[in-house]
Amino acid sequence: MTVAAQPLVDEFEYTPEVAERMAPVFERVKDHITAEEWPVIAPYVDEIIRLKKEKNAVILAHNYQTRDIFHCVSDIVGDSLALAIKAKEVEADVMVVCGVHFMAETAKLLNPSKKVLIPDPEAGCSLAESITAADVRQLRKDNPGVPICTYVNTSADVKSEVDICCTSANAKKIVESLGSDKVLLIPDQFLAANVAKTTDVEILTWAGQCEVHELYKKEDIQQIRKDHPECVVLAHPECPPEVLDEADFSGSTTGMADYVKEKKPELVALITECSMSDNIRADCPDSEFIMSCTMCPHMKKITLEKIVNCLRDLSNEVFVDEDIAKPARASIEAMIAAS
């Protein structure tokens, strides 16, 4: 549950004082932000840095956030698993989660004494919206004795009904850790199908899918290969299985970033949300990226303006009722322990 969004702040100006204060920040991010973009971004960055200090706040940003948020104002970045693990260790009073709603809920579950804010409470996720707690209770009834593992892309309500959570980075490991010959892996049918191909555990699933990754087709990769035979193609496991079959490597956003940093392919295509390529390009100077741009409209609801607004007013706080939080937290803790 969250409180209503507040109106946005007025635009800030790029004054000589702002330019001078923000010069060291620009020096740090100039490989990611152009000199033409900076005068528009800098006043917001300046205000966010001031507010973070004033409110004793930190900003957590998912890999799919835009370059201005990811590079200029975030303190902690990563995929869902990395953000969950790091959220547990945050000592600041306030966490601003630049990602979608289930990520902010996860941060609150793992560090409940902190104030957790989300700059836009409408930032949802097609996977999280595909299943309810009542659906999970019915699945449990229909499949007695079968352990249920949910992808973290679900609400706290759903997490409170399952045995354990997983992310795209650890799904196979978590499924196999349950010691069962059959596991319900929900709600992403493509992640489930992709895990099923790598394990002897029988996987049952749910008909949810990511509205971004479901758009990719195997023909997209075949076209990339035709145009650029030397290109290395990395695909996210939320893509349909026939897409992964065409790829050279499949992994979470962190897995893909590590692959590019370590193997340094000359030409690479990341089959995932388009901010990924933007955000790792400067750290991978040996690789050229082919843009394969499919944007998550939910992730893109988060903007610098909305971060200023929620930090200034400490608005859009995320709460989870304790009777839901306790079992939901246990399913996330079980995942962290098993990974």
- Positions in the binding site for ligand SF4 (CB under 6 A): 100, 125-127, 153, 210-212, 273, 296, 298-299
338 three-class SS: helix
Pairing assessment for the beta strands 249-250 and 94-98 based on DSSP bridges: unpaired
- Nearest approach, Cβ of 315 to ligand SF4 (angstroms)? 22
Residue closer to ligand SF4 by CB (options 210, 256) is: 210
The strand pairing partners of 268, in sequence order, are 232, 289
Q: Which is nearer to ligand SF4, 177 or 275 (CB)?
A: 275
Least distance between ligand SF4 and beta carbon 214 (Å): 9
Q: Compute the least distance from the CB of residue 13 to ligand SF4, in Å.
A: 33
Cβ 234 vs Cβ 221: under 8 Å: no
For the CB of residue 116, give the shortest distance to ligand SF4 in the complex, in Å. Answer: 17
Instruction: Please give the full DSSP string across 159-187, using - where no structure is assigned.
Output: HTTSSEEE-TTTHHHHHHHT--SEEEEES
Starting from the edge strand earliest in sequence, which strands make up the sheet with 57-62, in order? 76-78, 57-62, 94-98, 115-117
Gap between the Cα atoms of 287 and 43, Å rounded: 32
DSSP state of 208: B
Nearer to ligand SF4, 210 or 320 (CB): 210
In this structure, are residues 58 and 96 in contact, taking their beta carbons and an 8 Å threshold? yes
Residue with smaller CB distance to ligand SF4, 209 or 331: 209
* Least distance between ligand SF4 and beta carbon 211 (Å): 5
CB of 294 to ligand SF4, least distance (A): 9
Helices (DSSP H) in the chain: which residue ranges? 16-29, 38-55, 67, 80-88, 101-110, 133-142, 156-159, 171-177, 189-196, 218-227, 241-246, 253-263, 275-281, 304-313, 322-338
Measured from the CB atom, is 111 or 253 closer to ligand SF4?
A: 253
Given the complex with ligand SF4, which of 18 and 275 has the nearer CB atom?
275
Bridge partners, residue 250, by sequence: 235
Q: How far is the CB of 258 from ligand SF4 (least distance, A)?
A: 19
Q: In angstroms, give the least distance from the CB of 145 to ligand SF4.
A: 29
- Measured from the CB atom, the residue of 42 and 100 that comes closer to ligand SF4 is 100
Instruction: Please tell me the distance from the alpha carbon of residue 69 to that of residue 275, in angstroms, as a whole number.
Output: 11
Is the peptide bond preceding residue 187 cis, with omega within 30 degrees of 0?
A: yes
Please state the closest distance from residue 66 (CB atom) to ligand SF4, in A: 14
Look at residues 102, 53, 103, 93 and name the one whose alpha carbon lies nearest to residue 73: 53
Nearer to ligand SF4, 188 or 317 (CB): 188
The dihedral sign for the CA sequence 317, 76, 71, 129:
negative
Nearer to ligand SF4, 63 or 316 (CB): 63
